[in-house]
Amino acid sequence: MLTIVAWIVVLGVLVAVHELGHFLVAKAFSMRVDEYSLGFGPSLWKRRWGETLYAVRMIPLGGYVRLGGMDGARRDDPRDFPNRPLGQRFLVILAGPVMNLLLAVLLYAMAFGPIGQPVPTTTVANTLAGYPAAAAGIRPGDRIVSVDGHPIRNWTELQKTIQRHARQPIAVAVARGRHVRRISLTTRYDRQVKAWLIGIQPATRAVHLGVLPAIRRGVSDTAQLAGAWFGAMVRLVEGHGPNVEGPVGIAVQVGIAANLGFYYLVLLSAALSLNLGLFNILPFPVLDGSRLFLIGLEGVRKKAMDPQHEGLIHLAGMVILLLLVVLVTFHDVASLVGARGSS
């Protein structure tokens, strides 16, 4: 249930922000906006304010902004999208992807600023049954203060020190309240993580950046991820690209992030927002990128494409995109079933 709710909320926010970009720029240029809708299919809620119908629809797999004249019928209304200057139309279409990139920056900044990055500490959050720490009486809330008489300042130091004691006794000083206990342990090798352990999980504390450092981190992480995205696209064209996940695969990732904590859900949402924005600039029929391409082509030819021909191009693109979604979803489900069957 958490996975479903988190997926609907995350997707809803990403789509709402994307469509809000189209909506706000169209309104700024005084274009007629007939509808702002989240989802597809029958409406669950709708209301008209002024000339615009606002709706939430049953199928939460996208959304749209319906601008005057974009249905293919050419009218003389100067506020219709096809009758506006070419530059204005270009900016209206571009605004959707740009809003997703800005949202990615904002979400990253929130994650490292007010939400705070969780950093592991030397305080014990949990002990693993059957491991030396639990057998020696270490409990949640205890704090590791030294190993073999050497002070331990952070979790990384503790991990490195434990790894140096393979099959060897280790003297651990544990603080519990005002009292310090000294315990002798022998590390145990875990085949799954391929490391020597004493069997403790760390408590974390949130580290918060200031406003400006958080924004700089948001811009930096967004730029780095965008560079990685374009690199992946190049490798995909060369036939060496990564596996592509569909709605089911992404929903699984959202569920995992939601279970890990709000910080990780926000990080994943930032990455998904950036991917949505960049994916939409691809010159594939029905995506924003194809509309940008056709507007650019109109500028070169000094002549708009016939609305019926453009409609057929977008319809064909919609069919191909839906088939790809079905194919990728089938692959996601098959992989998920296979993973559960082998576990």
pLDDT given for residue 192 in this prediction: 83
Please state the separation of Cα 288 from the chain's center in Å.
Answer: 20
Each domain of the chain, given as residue ranges in start order, spans 2-116+212-342, 118-207
Q: In sequence order, what E strands does the chain have? A: 33-49, 52-67, 117-127, 143-147, 150-151, 169-176, 179-186, 188-190, 195-197, 200-207
Least confident of 249-253, 287-291, 307-311: 307-311
What are the tens digits of pLDDT across the range 37-81? 999 899 999 999 999 999 999 988 889 999 998 876 667 889 999
Percent of the chain with pLDDT over 90: 51
157 is catalytic: no
Percent of the chain with pLDDT over 70: 86
Class of 118-207 in CATH: mainly beta
Point out the catalytic residue in the list 19, 238, 245, 298: 19
Q: How confident is the model at residue 4 (pLDDT cuts 50, 70, 90)?
A: confident
**Least confident span in 118-122, 248-252, 266-270:** 248-252
pTM for this prediction: 0.83
Q: Which residue has the higher pLDDT, 91 or 165?
A: 91
Distance (Å, whole) CA 224 – CA 334: 32
Where is average pLDDT lowest: 134-148, 164-178, 202-216?
164-178
How far the first Cα of the chain sits from its last, in Å, is: 22
User: How do 150-151 and 143-147 pair as beta strands?
Assistant: antiparallel
The closest of 235, 230, 234 to 278, measured between CA atoms, is 230
Give the integer Cα–Cα distance in Å for 291 and 92.
10
Given a cut of 50, is residue 339 above it in pLDDT? no
pLDDT number for residue 59: 86
What is the pLDDT, as a whole number, of residue 343?
A: 39
Query: Within 13 Å of residue 317, how many CA atoms lie on the same side as its CB?
Result: 17
278 within 8 A of 270, measured Cβ to Cβ: no
Span of 95-99, 263-267, 320-324 with lowest mean pLDDT: 320-324
Tell me: the pLDDT tens digits for 94-118? 999 999 999 999 999 999 999 999 9
302 or 6, which is more confident: 6
pLDDT digits (tens, 9 = 90+) for 218-255: 999 999 999 998 888 887 777 665 666 666 777 788 88
DSSP 245: P
- CB-CB contact of 321 with 286 (8 Å): yes
Question: Is pLDDT larger for residue 320 or for residue 254?
Answer: 254
Q: What is the pLDDT of residue 217?
A: 97
Task: Name which residue leads in pLDDT, 125 or 194.
Answer: 125
Cβ distance 63 to 39 under 8 Å?
A: yes
